[in-house]
Structure 1
Amino acid sequence: FREIYYWDSFFIIKGLIASGMYRTVRGMIENMQHLIEKYGFVPNGNRIYYLNRSQPPLLTWCVHAYFSATNDVAFLERLMPTLQKEIAFFRTNRSIVMDGWPGHLYRYHVVVDAPRPESYRADIETAAHLYEGNPIPK
């Protein structure tokens, strides 16, 4: 791939830390920080058609892994507003509260009325049997 994918980045960061590649990890975190500052969240990937999708809010876990390996307090302090902004986005736009549950559950949720641009044909073929005898909604 020629762009980041949010979920994948978390696991890549874990491997980079195990390899001692802290500067690369820091760069990845800074890239995700930029996305949050620009869009309010890290999109699923870095393509325009991903701007309505995200994956689980993992930047806090990425920063935790980096900080645990480097003890870079100044970087952590600089990132705190961004981490708070990401969680606020999920709390406002991607969370549910369940009766009897003490907190918020963050979920993957996209409101869309069309096939995904990157998988248009596969989505049309998958959905075709759902509309037998009826036109596929546009």
Structure 2
Amino acid sequence: MRKAFQLSEEDEECLAQGGRVWEAIREGNANWLILPGHQIPDGYNVSMATAALRIPPNYPDDQIDMVYFDPPIALKSGRTIANLSLLTLDGRQYQQWSRHRTPANPWRPGIDNVCTHLLQVDTWLQRELAK
């Protein structure tokens, strides 16, 4: 597994506790955390996908934003998911989910981390099913 940059001890511990395999890659000037085997809820066209998170230069003070999936995911119902686009990353096509924290749910430096962001990602997936 590639480790082009160092995650914090807290991030490594929470990923290990969740049994998560991960890679840290650098593409251009950006650091990316690649997480194969992310569980996708029933109601989508796949049960697992690789999730990618762009790790900002000033993380953990600056928030992680959005999520990227490979393969692209879709609803089994056929309903279109809004605010998606494609991004080539590490030679693959990832589907960018343009989802952001809100004033009601802001990034909390010193509290939020990779694992709390993955919980947010799971919330976004569930909300899309509920629409």
What TM-score, normalized to structure 2?
Answer: 0.23
More helix by share: 1
More strand by share: 2
> If you compute each CA radius of gyration, which structure gives the higher value, 1 or 2?
1
What TM-score, normalized to structure 1?
Answer: 0.22
